[in-house]
Amino acid sequence: MNEAREIALSILMDIETSGTFSNIALNKGLKKNQFIEKKERAFVTRLCEGVTEYKITLDYIINQFSKTKLNKCKPMIRCILRMGVYQIMYMDSVPDRAACNEMVSLAKKHGFGNLSGFVNGVLRNISRNKECINYPDEDNDTIKYLSVKYSMPEWLVEKLNKWYGEEKTRLIMEASFAERPTSVRVNLLKTTADELARMMQEDGVKVEKGNYDEAALLISEYDFIKKVPGFKKGLFTVQDESSISAVRACNIKPGDYVVDVCSAPGGKSTAAIEMLGRNGSILSMDVAGDKLDLIEENIERILRDVENDIDISINCADASKFIPELENKADVLIADIPCSGLGIIGRKNDIKYKLTEEGIKELLELQKSILDNVKRYVKSGATMLISTCTINPDENEGNVEWFLKNNPDFSLVSSRLFIQGIDKCDGFFYAVLKKN
């Protein structure tokens, strides 16, 4: 596993020094080393995801046993120590001696031979004393305890506790570490859920029915999503059930004109197209021009070999900027607005470290700006969907309350909040509004 540890270190350094999101850094690192064995690939993934998920916990442990605090160490040494401690604390398949020796070797290999003794001393001390680590007192300092236990910034633990209480907060944080199957939306224009499930199972994929939508399947025990039977033929699209439910609640009908203003990577746009059936129109827009190809690719894949008269446009556009020709045109307006992402921490495990209270305040202003603009695209009697992948009440119920107060010509049809760890899906919120 020497090569695997070397690859993991390069990925973690990309995250540490360049601020690259962990999923992007991992995908990039694995693609660069695509010919390594499956076992090594799994080891790299487990180590990188684990070190990222448990960073606060790992740093807390290291600082107990190191005279030099981690924030004073070189980035390379920080990454090496975290890798070593993660293997010691959480990877039973790795002997402690191997974890220590390999991390010392990595330090020497990368020009830190003078610090190899320091690395060795810290890791072996932790290995000898891992059963008696002094964690924060759960009763006297609950916030600190939960922060260290679940590797969550203290300010965020306080927010969750304020919004949902301690019991639900624990469930939410536990869910971020839980293994969950992948939710996929069956393309009912091409197949049925039962037929697709049978095809996948014949290939060894584990398949369960969805919990909230008849077009959803929950799959696991596969290597790459693009190699799962039916993907290339456009028989399914990866999309969480909560998001499927949001689009379903819009009651999209054949012939509708749908405008999706923050559409990348295209999950809601493709769901809308499937619900349009074989005729209608959709405009799929996103400010991230580099993601438009992905939207186009996903749409092309689901409609391949399907006879239809759906008019499809894909544009690069800022949802907060008015487009006059869209005024009063949409039968269904989908606004999946940029958000803090607190509902998908389990899938993007470094979101919790990048968020700040000031950043969320800025997001709230952007969200209001977008909603205040795109409301003008909704025709009289038509539908507007507001959705987020966060569980922050200010970004969800708060925004809907603000919007309805300032736009009395709209009324609330339905809304739903999914909370990870309580519901069997991602954390997600949606509200369906109607323009009167």
d(CA 84, CA 253): 55
- Which tokens is 128 given? 């000898």
* Residue of 353, 341, 432, 352 lying closest to 390 (CA atoms): 341
Backbone phi, psi, residue 2, to 5° = -60, -45
Burial of residue 252 (CB within 10 Å: 0-12, 13-18, 19+) is buried
For the annotated catalytic residues, the residue numbers are 389
pLDDT number for residue 100: 95
Give pLDDT tens digits for 272-284: 999 999 899 999 9
Packed helices 2-18 and 22-32: angle between N→C axes, nearest 10 degrees: 140
Q: Report the 3 state secondary structure along 65-117.
A: HCCCCHHHCCHHHHHHHHHHHHHHHHCCCCCHHHHHHHHHHHHHHCCCHHHHH
* Residue of 77, 66, 75 lying closest to 104 (CA atoms): 77
The widest CA-to-CA distance across the chain, in whole angstroms, is 72
| 3-state DSSP percent of the chain in helix, strand and coil, to 5 | 50, 15, 30
d(CA 119, CA 201): 47
Inter-residue contact 314 to 286 (CB < 8 Å)? no
Give pLDDT tens digits for 73-82: 999 999 999 9
pLDDT number for residue 149: 96
Half-sphere exposure of residue 407: CA atoms within 13 angstroms, side-chain side:
22
Residues 6+ apart with CB under 8 A from 394: 360, 364
Whole-Å CA distances, 233 to 202, 276, 303, 304? 17, 19, 9, 7
Regions of the chain where pLDDT drops below 50: none
d(CA 407, CA 405): 6
Inter-residue contact 410 to 434 (CB < 8 Å)? yes
Look-up of token digits 């740093």: 59
Identify the CATH homologous superfamily for domain 2-132: NusB-like (1.10.940.10)
CB atoms within 10 A of CB 100: 22
Helices and strands counted in the chain (H then E): 16, 11
List every span in the chain annotated with CATH 1.10.940.10.
2-132
pLDDT number for residue 1: 61
Which amino acid does the sequence have at 106? L
Assess if CATH 3.30.460.10 describes domain 241-435: no
List every span in the chain annotated with CATH 3.40.50.150.
241-435
Inter-residue contact 180 to 426 (CB < 8 Å)? no
Burial of residue 86 (CB within 10 Å: 0-12, 13-18, 19+) is buried
Q: State CA 235 to chain mean position distance.
A: 23
